[in-house]
Amino acid sequence: MLANGTLLQNRYLIKRPLAQGGMGAIYEAEAIHLGHAPVAVKETFFVQDWLREQFQREASMLARLRHPALPKVSDHFVEDAGQFLVMEFIPGEDLEKLLESHIEEQGTPFDWQRVVKWADRLLDALEYIHSQQPPVIHRDIKPQNLKLTPHGELFLIDFGLAKDATTPTSPGRSVHAYTPNYAPPEQLKGTGTDARTDLYSLGATLYNLLTGEIPIGANVREEVMRFGVPDPLRSVSEIKLQIPPSLSDAIARAMKLDRKDRYQNAKEMREALHQCERDYKTLIAEEKRRNAELKLRETKRLLEEERKRQEEARQRELEEKRRKEEEARVLAEQQRQEEVRKRQEEARQCELEEKRRKEEKIRRQVEKQIDQQKRLEQEQAEKSRGEEKAQLEELNFERKRKKEIERRKHPEQVTRPQSVKTSPQFNPRGRSQTAEEALESATVNPVVTEQAAEPAVHIQPAIEITQDVPNTQLMESELPTYTEPLPTQEQDKEWRVILRSQRLQLSAGVVAVLALSLFYLLWPYLKNETVSPQSQTQSTPLPTVDVTERLQYWFELENQKSLTTKHILAPDLGIKFHFKSRENGYLYLLALDQKNRLTAFLRDEPVQSGSDFVFPSNAEEWFDLSRKDIKQAHVTVLLARSRIHDFDNLVLNVGQSLSQAEAIESLKRLVGAILPITRDDMSERGITAIAVRAIADDKPLIFDIPFEYVRN
């Protein structure tokens, strides 16, 4: 064992030992003559001559080898008792130590792709040495003899057991050194080695580098398999699942016990490993292709899902848009209906206001008529009282005249009347007596004597008499001459009773006429249910008069096959009128024509009580009131008990220069139909009709049917 600092051949300075075995040692040294270049010096301990000769052959054999995976031999010399071989120094660690460190650090052996690259380099070196003439056999390939430099270059070292084809193999003259777990059966038995021996050792080395396990020795495998048990050596892919099966099969073939079953040379095994790489690359490419297809399918699926989501979002957006449009349409329809309702309400309010105004006007007219009637009655009463007073005065004067004539004719039968106080202040009933009452109460009380043939007459004057009047003051020549006899007392009383009864009858007749006129005028407005509460509270309560139903009417709409009582129409629809009269008569229908003239569309049509009268009667005809320039229209209906003669000329005369409202009012005045009417919608009671009510008499019934056109 050389000490550090030993100088050999004055050229090689020993620095430190690298490895030591039973047959020699290896040192790291410097070649002084080469500028202190690092070299490896191998020393052998052989003392036998044949061993020395074998070492010398190894030196000469290695000196002619030139391969990137093999160290270069530069010198061989003998000094003292030892032989030395100088070769290229390979820095780094052997694979055995690196494998232990890798497993300790990462918990797993080397990656199989890295190991295959190393195997390719080694097989290339084996193919090189096996192709030498004669071939060189290493015979000790194992992880310890594989050194990896810091740059990643792998070298096959320690050719101490190498031999060539010229190496003698005489018994007892061959070196039988080997590593049992990496040696094939022929090397263990000493039956001779060849290139296939190195392939077995390389396969065992790859097995260890890939699995981290030392392979079972060949002798153990043969012993076990001799008893019919399968080979106990597990496959590489069974131990490490990540290793491709083709690589596992290649290593298993290289480690076959029978050399005939192994690869026959390094080139064949190298091609097998290349095929494993190609298969793996193909597998990887296929895997990548499958992954790409899967990724493409996944991408298509994601795109399809995205498209579906976008479609669903678009559908939701369209649905939301349709919903908003529907809500807007419904809101617009509601607003339109609200506007229609407001217009109807305004029309109803206007109608109610118009009715209230008419009622107020009628009430004022009735009050005016009542006041006029009262004044007329008072004037009539004043006139009656004046006439009665004049008649009484004339009667008293006539009585006085007749009495004076009697007194002058029969002065002996007439006694002087007693003084009777008849002053207006005298009133036995506690009130003053008027002059009229005094005249009415004046009586003649004659004083009858026993000798008188006729009863004496006592006249009570209409004025107060305070003293006696001498008979001589009344001259016969001053009194008028009358030929008629004076009425008796009974006749005078009878005349006064008749006069009072006539006055009472006259007053009762006047009151009855006024009451009947008042009831006749105010009854429809007292019975009308549509009068507003304000008008009911403001108007003076009046007596009610019985009304009766005169007529019912309803409508039939075109293209809708329905009956209704509503007065709201679409401008493009025609209507049919249905009338049911409670009395026999004649029906007339008036409206404005296209020239805005009042026209009778229905003339002299007899109707029967209780029957349904339809106009137009033709099933294919419809009545059209719509015009583009109007939003409202109305039709006037006239029902008369008897035919109205010359009705067309009557309508023509009243409709030439007047509006429809004025023309209808003129027509009403002409036919004498001034009766107010009321309408009652009976649809709430299950009857599709509007009942028209008025005072039951024989006057014609005239009323208007208003229509409102709803335009979209």
Non-local (6+) Cβ contacts of 244 within 8 A are 112, 237, 276, 279, 280, 283
pLDDT digits (tens, 9 = 90+) for 570-582: 777 888 899 999 8
pLDDT (0 to 100) of residue 458: 41
564 or 440: which carries more pLDDT confidence? 564
Residue at token pair 């005369």? 653
Full 3-state SS string of 51-80 = HHHHHHHHHHHHHCCCCCCCCCEEEEEEEC
Q: How confident is the model over 489-510, as pLDDT tens digits?
A: 555 555 666 666 666 777 777 7
Q: Provide the β-strand partners of residue 690.
A: 553, 681
Closest among 21, 22, 41 to 31, alpha carbons compared: 41
Burial 645-676 (b: 16+ CB within 10 A, else e): eebeebbeebbeeeebeebbebbbeebebebb
Joined together, the tokens standing for residue 459 give 């006249």
- Whether the pLDDT of residue 440 is over 50: the answer is no
pLDDT bracket for residue 707 (50, 70, 90)? confident
Alpha-carbon distances of 309 from 294, 298, 318, 319, rounded to whole Å:
22, 16, 14, 15
| Mean predicted confidence (pLDDT) in 472-494 | 47
Residue 605 Cα distances to 142, 575, 601, angstroms: 135, 19, 11
| pLDDT band at 310; cut points 50, 70, 90 | very high
The rounded distance, in Å, linking the Cα atoms of 58 and 159 is 8
- Percent with pLDDT over 90 in the chain: 30
User: What pLDDT digit, counting tens, does each position of 350-389 carry?
Assistant: 999 999 999 888 888 888 888 888 888 888 888 888 888 8
pTM: 0.45
pLDDT value for 502: 66
pLDDT above 60 (res 101): yes
72-76, 423-427, 482-486, 666-670: the lowest-pLDDT one: 423-427
Across the chain, what does the average pLDDT equal? Answer: 78
Decide if 477 contacts 402 (C-beta within 8 A).
Answer: no
pLDDT at 632 over 50: yes
In the chain, DSSP finds a helix count (H) and a strand count (E) of 14, 22
Q: What pLDDT sits at residue 274? A: 92
Find the DSSP H helices in 107-143.
112-130
Which residues share a beta bridge with 639? 587, 701
Which H or E run includes 520? helix 489-527
Exposed/middle/buried for residue 42 (C-beta within 10 Å: 0-12, 13-18, 19+)? buried
| CA distances in angstroms from 181 to 368, 500, 663, listed in the order given | 148, 171, 137
Q: What is the mean pLDDT of residues 215-232?
A: 90
Q: Would you give the distance in Å from CA 417 to the centre of its chain?
A: 117
Using only C-alpha atoms, the chain has a radius of gyration, in whole angstroms, of: 78
> 195-211 and 245-254 are packed helices; what angle lies between their axes, rounded to 10 degrees?
140
Output 413 or 548, whichever has higher pLDDT.
548
Residue 291 has pLDDT above 50, yes or no: yes
Residues 6+ apart with CB under 8 A from 319: none
pLDDT of residue 218: 92
Least confident of 100-104, 124-128, 164-168, 619-623: 164-168
Residue 261 pLDDT level (bands cut at 50, 70, 90)? very high
pLDDT value at 165 more than 50: no
**CA dihedral angle for residue 272, residue 275, residue 277, residue 278, rounded to 10 degrees:** 180
Q: Are 691 and 680 in contact (CB under 8 A)?
A: yes
| Model pLDDT, residue 129 | 92
- What is the number of other CB atoms lying within 10 angstroms of the CB of residue 261? 12
The residue among 544 and 95 whose pLDDT is bigger is 95
Pairing verdict, β 701-709 and 568-569: parallel
Chain centre distance of CA 707? 37
* CA 642/CA 663 separation, integer angstroms: 22
Strand partners, 708: 568, 632
CB 88, CB 40: distance < 8 Å: yes
Helix axes 95-106, 195-211, angle to 10 degrees: 20
| Percentage of residues of the chain with pLDDT beyond 70 | 77
